[in-house]
């Protein structure tokens, strides 16, 4: 199996507090890493470090066998990071947002209306995102999972604001992605209702908080 993420001895200190120390993370192609822990434990920090968006105090991250901090542009087609905020352009409509995101990903959406239907936005395509609910805005952001060419998805709290059908839809999409050899790292405060064949659970409990 191909090692997609290989992080060694990660230590992160933020605001003077050690969030994790000497943490190793390894995820193979087709694998799922589900990161859990209380508010403020360091889940987002870990995801950002793995994605090469934040430097650890110590340790290294390799993605696809190469250091994650080298030449960020080369990751754009291989790594999709979606943070805990929806990250949609509020003045653009749902369809305009999808097309903008597809442009970033270097793809053309074959049938945007079909995609809008798939992700539960049909009938809302022409409304500016700022007039949509939190869950609808989250659906715009997550629609990217239906066209992104990236084999590695790093998703921070993707279920936030989604209703139960939305959560189920997303987990079906995760199953398709990993079933085709894609890799997923996610955080959530809820257990997964889907049982991936290659699931690793990582619970972050700040060492200092539990001494
Ligand atoms: N931009 C920042 N600058 C300095 N410290 C930060 C910053 N962002 C977060 N922190 C610190 O890092 C700690 C971990 O934050 P992080 O967002 O990684 O936690 P989390 O586990 O994802 O929490 P949540 O479940 O609330 O989203 C926070 O308690 C905070 O002290």
What's the confidence (pLDDT) of residue 209?
Answer: 53
What's the token pair of residue 27?
């995820």
- 20: nearest Cα among 42, 3, 48: 42
More confident residue, 148 or 69: 148
Dist. CA 113 → ligand 1 center (Å): 37
**Domain for residue 156, yes or no?**
no
Identify whether the C-beta of residue 100 lies closer than 8 Å to the C-beta of residue 89.
Answer: yes
Dist. CA 35 → ligand 1 center (Å): 14
**Domain for residue 123, yes or no?**
no
Which among 40, 83, 155, 202 is the best mutation to test ligand 1's pocket, defined by most ligand atoms within 8 Å of the CB? 40
What's the confidence (pLDDT) of residue 85?
Answer: 86
Domain that holds residue 67: 1-72+185-211
pLDDT in tens, 137-189: 999 999 999 999 999 999 999 999 999 999 999 999 999 999 999 999 999 99
Question: What's the whole-model pTM score?
Answer: 0.94
CATH code of the domain in which 195 resides:
3.40.50.300
Determine whether the shortest distance from the Cβ of 183 to ligand 1 is under 6 A. Answer: no
State the complex-level ipTM. 0.96
Determine whether the shortest distance from the Cβ of 195 to ligand 1 is under 6 A. Answer: no
pLDDT in tens, 181-210: 999 999 999 889 999 999 999 999 866 654
């Amino acid at each position: 199996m191909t090692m997609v993420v290989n992080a060694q001895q990660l230590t992160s200190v933020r605001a003077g507090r050690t969030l994790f120390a000497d943490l190793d993370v390894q995820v193979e192609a087709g694998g799922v890493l589900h990161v859990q822990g209380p508010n403020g434990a360091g889940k987002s920090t870990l995801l950002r470090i793995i994605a090469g968006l934040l430097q650890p105090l110590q340790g290294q991250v390799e993605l696809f066998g190469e250091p994650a901090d080298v030449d960020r542009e080369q990751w754009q087609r291989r790594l999709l990071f979606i943070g805990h905020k929806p990250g949609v352009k509020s003045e653009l409509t749902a369809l305009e947002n999808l097309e903008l995101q597809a442009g970033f990903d270097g793809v053309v959406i074959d049938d945007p209306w079909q995609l809008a239907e798939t992700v539960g936005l049909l009938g809302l395509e022409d409304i500016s995102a700022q007039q949509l609910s939190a869950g609808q805005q989250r659906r715009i952001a997550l629609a990217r999972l239906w066209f992104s060419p990236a084999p590695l998805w790093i998703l921070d709290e993707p279920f936030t604001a989604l209703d139960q059908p939305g959560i189920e839809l997303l987990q079906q999409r995760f199953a398709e992605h990993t079933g085709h050899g894609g890799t997923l790292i996610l955080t959530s405060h809820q257990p997964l209702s889907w049982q991936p064949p290659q699931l690793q659970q990582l619970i972050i409990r700040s060492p200092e908080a539990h001494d």
